[in-house]
Every structure is written in C-alpha cells, then in structure tokens.
C-alpha cells in the first residue's frame, strides 16, 4: 500500500517577526506556505485533526482561520458560537464554554503541537458567521449602511472589546503567526477609503498596545486606488480600499492580496492575470518595505489543470522572493460540524495539487519527513 508522507515540524516556540520586507523566525528567513481553512476553530476534535493532517500532507506551515463566530442570541445547548448578544447586558458577551472559545483554544493548541502557525482573523466584511453586519444589527442600525461599523463609536467599542478578548487570550502564544483586523474589509461610497484607512490605523494601534509580540495585517483583498484607473474596480478605489495606503500604517506589519481570476478578471487569461497581480503586489510591498502575502489564491473547478496554473503562480512567488502564499481553500468533505459543503475552490487532497507540496519543499526549512 502506498505510504502517505506527513511533514512534521518542531512545535512552535518563538514568534515570527518582521525585518523590512522579510519575515524572520529565530533570526532566519521565514516563508509562509499555507492554506485557508476558516472553520478550524469551530469543529470537533476529529475534524480538527483531519484538517491538520491535510495541511501537513501539503507540507504547509500556516493556516488562516476565523477567530469570530457571532450570534444574534444566546446559543442553545449544541450551538457553536464565540460571542452572542446578551439582552440583559445589552451587549455581546463571549462564550467561554466547550462549544465556544474552548474550541478555538483546542485548535491553537493542536496547531502548536504540530508546528503549524495560525493567522487569526478578527471579524468579517461579509455576513457569514456574523461579522460586521452582526455588529450593525446588534445596535439596531440600518443594515444598508454597513459602513457605520467603521465610524459609529458604539460599533468600534464593541469590536475593541472582542479584539481585547482574543488578543489578550493568545498574546503569549507563539503558534499565532499574525492578527488580521478583518476578512476582506471594504468601505464603498464617498470618502470610504479614508474611513477604512482611519479605522485600520486606530484598530491596528489598539492591537499593538495589547500585544507587542505578533504581526498585524489588515486582511484586505489588495485593491489599489490610483489616478486614471477609470472604470477598473481593481485599481480605481471603488471598493474603498487602497492596499498601498494600508501598507503605510505604522502598526501594520504586512500587506495582503486575494486572487481569483475567474471573478476578478473574466476577460483575461488566468495565468497571465495571476502573474501580473502577484508582481504588482510584491512590488508594492517592496516600495513600502513591508512583506506582501498572497493570502488567498484559487481557481474554481472544473478547470482543465488547476495544478499547472498553481505551479506557475507559485514559481513566480519563489522567483520574486515573496514571503509566502495561502491556498483558498484547503478543506474536507462536508461533515455535521461544518456549516457549508465544500465549494468549487476547495482542494481536499494534496494529490489534487502536487505543485503546492513541491513549492512547500522549496519555501520552508527544518522539516522532518515521516512515512506513515
């Protein structure tokens, strides 16, 4: 019977740090090869272990997960949530129980034991699992005006309370690679990019006050805001995001970009668009003297040969000395503890994308391969 190669790395014991546009671990260059498995902190232990096994089969050293799960009401006996609205207190409160933050604790501890580091994302632009729309709803604000999340003092204070809960819980934990303020924050409309920039400046400084140890990123999609970009939403600031301005914030350690050619550039060749999008963002990071992480990349199946496309994109990151990349998404078949069935982006086996394991071998160091 064919053996499966599992990459075992030493348990995380030191913090990853930034030096200019590079990342360091114990004074040596550190490069990220990872995947997004957002539900890692939500699931029961067998699912958690299976997901970590999958990451190790790719040779990954990092996983990005959600550190939020917001509910409109107190959870039932079997409901999983991290924070919920307490009507008596007229405020959201943390769920410290076994179907609450204890699940996230278990994910962090299990990742540490395997030498895998986690990026913890603190809220969501989208309504999945609560996020910004839930904060707005908690306060009875008009859901059409989601941008009030960034400007309403009550929303900002609620968010800070949640950030304080999570950051102080794990600020001495070396298995945490980085904090991210939000998943794909946008602030569309007049003056939106200035509003988002001010919010990210305030919140990243707040995280830094709480935690001097860990890296901080915004978690944005990497849109540009440039003059004469006309009708191109990737460059004209339409989404209220300027990745270059966000990179300039003093408490932000690294930039992020997300890459989905089939939706972002439907009229372009996916390979060529990806190579261009990677190059432009790594160059933006170099100008800012900060790392730029290719934080989400993916292609929807069916696609003639996703692996061949991934191989070209990942080789480009290697050639341009990028700090790393994270697949969207690495996942398992649908189980009872997962909210959604795998979508068309999900890769369920390292054999479906061997380019990633090859890339990991080039990007990471200090690995011990154990056949099982």
Please report, for residues 230, 269, 275, 287, the alpha-carbon distance to residue 263 in angstroms, rounded to integers and kept in the order given.
19, 12, 16, 28
Place of tokens 């943390």: 94
DSSP run (H or E) holding 137:
helix 131-138
Q: Is 296 tagged catalytic?
A: yes
Within 207-334, strands assigned E span 215-217, 255-259, 292-297, 324-327
| Cα gap 309→303, rounded to integer Å | 10
Q: Which of 184, 221, 244, 295 is catalytic?
A: 184
**Contact (CB, 8 A) for 275 and 316:** yes
Q: Which two tokens stand for residue 183?
A: 């998943």
Q: How many C-beta atoms surround the C-beta of residue 4 within 10 A?
A: 13
**Contact (CB, 8 A) for 183 and 124:** yes
Q: Which of 221, 244, 295, 296 is catalytic?
A: 296
Report phi then psi at 228, rounded to 5.
60, 30
| Cα gap 178→166, rounded to integer Å | 12
**Contact (CB, 8 A) for 32 and 293:** yes
Residues designated catalytic: 184, 296
């Amino acid at each position: 019977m064919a053996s499966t190669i599992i990459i075992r790395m030493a348990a995380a014991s030191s913090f990853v740090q930034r030096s200019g546009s590079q990342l360091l671990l114990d004074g040596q260059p550190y490069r990220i090869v990872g995947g997004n498995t957002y539900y890692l902190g939500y699931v029961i232990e067998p699912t958690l272990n299976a997901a970590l096994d999958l990451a190790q089969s790719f040779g990954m050293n990092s996983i990005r997960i959600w550190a939020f799960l917001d509910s409109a009401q107190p959870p039932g006996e079997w409901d999983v949530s991290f924070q919920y609205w307490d009507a008596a207190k007229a405020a959201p409160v943390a769920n410290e129980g076994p179907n609450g933050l204890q699940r996230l604790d278990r994910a962090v501890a299990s990742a540490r034991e395997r030498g895998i580091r986690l990026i913890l994302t603190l809220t969501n632009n989208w309504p999945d699992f609560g996020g910004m729309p839930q904060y707005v709803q908690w306060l009875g604000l008009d859901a059409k005006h989601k941008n009030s999340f960034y400007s309403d003092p009550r929303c900002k204070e609620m968010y800070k309370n949640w950030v304080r809960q999570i950051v102080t819980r794990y600020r001495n934990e070396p298995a945490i690679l980085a904090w991210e303020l939000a998943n794909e924050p946008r602030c569309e409309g007049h003056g939106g990019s200035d509003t988002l920039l001010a919010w990210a400046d305030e919140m990243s400084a707040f995280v830094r006050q709480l935690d001097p140890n860990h890296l901080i990123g915004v978690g944005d999609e990497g849109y540009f805001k440039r003059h004469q970009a006309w009708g191109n939403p990737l460059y004209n600031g339409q989404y209220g995001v300027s990745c270059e301005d966000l990179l300039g914030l003093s408490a932000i350690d690294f930039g992020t970009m997300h890459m989905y050619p089939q939706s972002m550039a439907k009229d372009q060749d996916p390979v060529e668009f990806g190579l261009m999008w990677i190059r432009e963002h790594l160059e933006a990071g170099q100008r800012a003297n900060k790392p730029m992480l290719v934080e989400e990349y993916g292609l929807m199946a069916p696609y003639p040969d996703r692996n061949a496309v991934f191989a070209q994109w990942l080789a480009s990151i290697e050639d341009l000395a990028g700090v790393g990349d994270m697949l969207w998404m690495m996942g398992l078949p649908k189980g009872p503890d997962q909210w959604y069935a795998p979508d068309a982006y999900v890769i369920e086996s390292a054999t479906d994308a061997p380019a990633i394991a090859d890339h990991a071998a080039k990007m990471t160091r200090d690995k011990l391969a154990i056949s099982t």
